[in-house]
């Protein structure tokens, strides 16, 4: 290894979480490199100190009497009869509205561009008119989808089917906007449409994950 | 201000979740719930101290155990009870973090030494307070990942489940937290 390992790699090495082949390679580097050896040593000390902190710290006063008093005002909720279930259905209703909006948007005529324009519009580049971070949207969507995969088993199968159906509508709209942009990359309205569709998907995923985890 | 319980064995503690106490609590038995509370209050209070701050830890701990009581019937046993309990606790604390961050600077408030236990674990008292203060000064999401992983002993996958965040994101927050902590402690 000619270059120094990354800080993350050194942390993983200090934590003993590297796979054996990489661990051997990093260890060989660390033995020959005082700077990296110091970093690994500092991380090992830090991890050691953190792991020695107490994991349980009792309150000095007994707080159970106050909790017990409040329990008297709050009975255990039956599963799937509380707030979470209502939220999921209200989310599905909102999802249907969102998906309908997206579907209608796909049916509307696209803006006329190119030689069919009767009169030229002022020239404005998409970067001036529309600023959005597609990679940021994609990252947010991926994160929310991962959460949904983790908590999705709390939903009824028919609810999952409805969610997937509505997400598919939005996905089709995203794909169509992307395809249209390939043919007309300077079209500002298509950029806006793509950004709106991705925001809708993020909003829908966030509503669903919030509704499912709100029951906790 | 607080007394310290000895560290709990990580894996064995989580595996031996009190199924019978949970079942009786789900049936509405307050005596079983009190026993469940006494089994876990130290862990939850420590979490509230570190993620919510010493000034709000007692109130947050109460809120957590009230919410657990109202939600306990939704626990289906498909995850370890402790993981589910931490998830409920984390949701309560996160709500508090959101409102606190709007209200005032966390650094000025949570890094106070006064709220932290003066007694020692196996770490020297002063060194321990320094470490707790440095942890309290971390950004919320970095601190959440570090406290749950490096102090409370959950794996990245479990931290992801507790916080409702993708495991890759937890790894990124964890590495950032360790780097910041190392820098702050070396000043």
The string of DSSP codes covering B113-136 is STTS--S-SSS-HHHHHHHHHHHH
Cβ contact B30–A74 (<8 Å): no
Half-sphere exposure of A212 (CA within 13 A, CB side): 22
Confidence (pLDDT) at A66: 94
Determine whether the interchain pair B165/A143 forms a contact, defined as Cβ–Cβ distance below 8 Å.
yes
User: Nearest CA of chain B to the CA of A214: how many Å?
Assistant: 8
For chain B, the residue count is: 187
Residues of B within 8 A of A213 (CB-CB) are 91, 164
CB A211 within 8 A of CB A91: yes
Q: Which residues of B touch A70 (CB under 8 A)?
A: 62, 66
- Residue A57 in contact with residue B46, Cβ under 8 Å? yes
CA nearest to A32, candidates A51, A71, A9, A4? A4
Give me the residue from A49, A55, A61 closest to B7, CB to CB.
Answer: A55
Q: Name all domains of chain B by residue range, CATH numbers in brackets.
A: 10-103 (1.10.1740.10)
Reading the block at residue B84, the tokens are 């589910």
CA of B74: which chain A residue's CA is closest?
Answer: A79
Q: pLDDT of B17-69, one tens digit each?
A: 578 899 999 998 999 999 999 999 999 999 999 999 998 999 999 999 999 99
Residue contact A50–B121, C-beta within 8 A: no
In the block, tokens 């089709």 appear at A172
The Cα–Cα gap between A148 and B120 comes to: 41
- Residue among B6, B30, B73 whose CB faces A79 most closely: B73
Chain A with chain B: Cβ pairs closer than 8 A: 159
pLDDT higher than 50, residue B110: no
- Cβ contacts of B8 on chain A, cutoff 8 Å: 55-56
Residue B10 or residue A146, greater confidence: A146
> Quick one: pLDDT band at residue B91, thresholds 50, 70, 90?
very high
Q: Give the pLDDT band (50/70/90) at residue B12.
A: very low
Question: Of all residues in chain B, what percent carry a pLDDT higher than 70?
Answer: 78
User: Which of A16, A43, A49, A54 to probe the B interface (max B CBs under 10 A)?
Assistant: A54
Tens of pLDDT, residue by residue over A111-170, are 444 333 333 334 344 443 445 566 777 777 776 776 676 666 666 667 777 777 788 888
For B166, the closest of A55, A147, A153 (CB atoms) is: A147
CB contact under 8 A, A11 and B131: no
Q: For residue A192, what are its two tokens?
A: 């806006």
Which range is most confident: A60-74, A182-196, B44-58, B127-141?
A: B44-58
Mark yes or no for CB contact B46/A57 under 8 Å: yes
pLDDT at position B1:
41
Residue B51 to residue B140: CA distance in whole angstroms: 8
Every domain of chain A and the residues it spans: 7-52, 83-213
- Helix residue ranges, H only, A61-187: 64-71, 83-107, 126-129, 134-151, 157-183
Closest CA to B41 of A65, A51, A56: A56
Residues of chain B neighbouring A42 (CB-CB closer than 8 A): 182, 186
From chain B, the residues in CB contact with A150 under 8 A are 160-161, 164
pLDDT at A78 over 70: no
Best B22, B64, B166 member to test A by mutation, with max A CBs in 10 Å, is B166
Q: Do B28 and A11 touch (CB under 8 A)?
A: no
Nearest to A85 by CA among A174, A216, A204, A211: A211
Q: How close, in Å, is residue A70 to chain B by CA atoms?
A: 7
| Cα A197 to Cα A175: distance, rounded to the nearest angstrom | 10
Closest-CA distance, B68 to chain A, in angstroms, reads 8
Partner residue facing B8 (CB), from A55, A68, A216 = A55
Which residue of B73, B76, B164 is in closest CB contact with A213? B164
Of B58, B88, B135, the CB nearest to A63: B58
- Beta-carbon contacts of residue B149 (< 8 Å; ≥ 6 apart): B155, B156, B159, B170, B174
Nearest Cβ partner for A57 among B2, B84, B167: B2
Contact B151 A59 (CB under 8 A): no
- Phi, psi (degrees; rounded to nearest 5) at B4: -110, 125
- Per-residue burial over A44-54, b if 16 or more Cβ lie within 10 Å, else e, is eebbebbebbb
């Amino acid at each position: 290894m000619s270059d120094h390992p990354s800080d993350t790699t050194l942390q993983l090495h200090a934590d003993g979480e590297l796979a054996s082949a990489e661990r051997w390679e990093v260890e060989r580097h660390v033995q020959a490199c005082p700077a990296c050896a110091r970093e690994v040593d500092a991380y090992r000390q830090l991890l050691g100190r953190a792991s020695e902190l107490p994991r349980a710290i009792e309150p000095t006063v007994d707080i159970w009497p106050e909790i017990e008093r409040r329990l008297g005002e709050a009975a255990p909720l039956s599963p799937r009869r509380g707030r979470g279930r209502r939220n999921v259905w209200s989310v599905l209703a909102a999802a249907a509205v969102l998906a309908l909006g997206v579907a209608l948007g796909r049916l509307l005529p696209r803006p006329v561009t190119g030689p069919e324009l009767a009169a030229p519009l002022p020239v404005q580049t998409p970067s001036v008119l529309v600023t959005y971070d597609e990679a940021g949207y994609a990252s947010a969507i991926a994160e929310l989808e991962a959460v949904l995969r983790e908590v999705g088993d709390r939903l009824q199968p028919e609810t999952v089917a409805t969610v997937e159906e509505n997400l598919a509508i939005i996905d089709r709209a995203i794909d169509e906007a992307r395809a249209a942009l390939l043919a007309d990359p300077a079209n500002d309205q298509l950029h806006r449409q793509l950004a709106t569709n991705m925001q809708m998907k993020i909003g829908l995923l966030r509503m669903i994950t919030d509704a499912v985890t709100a029951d906790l | 201000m607080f007394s310290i319980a000895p560290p709990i064995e990580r894996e064995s503690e989580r595996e031996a979740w009190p199924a019978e106490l949970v079942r009786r609590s789900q049936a509405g038995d307050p005596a079983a719930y009190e026993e469940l509370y006494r089994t876990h209050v130290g862990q939850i209070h420590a979490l509230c101290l570190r993620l919510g701050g010493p000034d709000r830890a007692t109130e947050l701990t109460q809120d957590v155990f009230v919410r657990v009581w109202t939600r306990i019937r939704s626990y289906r046993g498909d995850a370890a009870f402790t993981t589910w309990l931490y998830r409920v606790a984390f949701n309560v604390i996160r709500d508090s973090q959101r409102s606190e961050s709007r209200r005032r600077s966390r650094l000025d408030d949570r890094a106070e030494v006064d709220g932290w236990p003066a007694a020692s674990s196996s770490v020297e008292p002063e060194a321990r307070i320094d470490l707790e203060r440095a942890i309290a000064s971390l950004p919320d999401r970095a601190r959440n990942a570090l406290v749950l992983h490096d102090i409370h002993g959950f794996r990245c996958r479990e931290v992801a489940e507790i916080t409702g965040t993708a495991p890759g994101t937890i790894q990124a927050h964890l590495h950032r937290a360790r780097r910041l902590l190392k820098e702050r402690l070396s000043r």
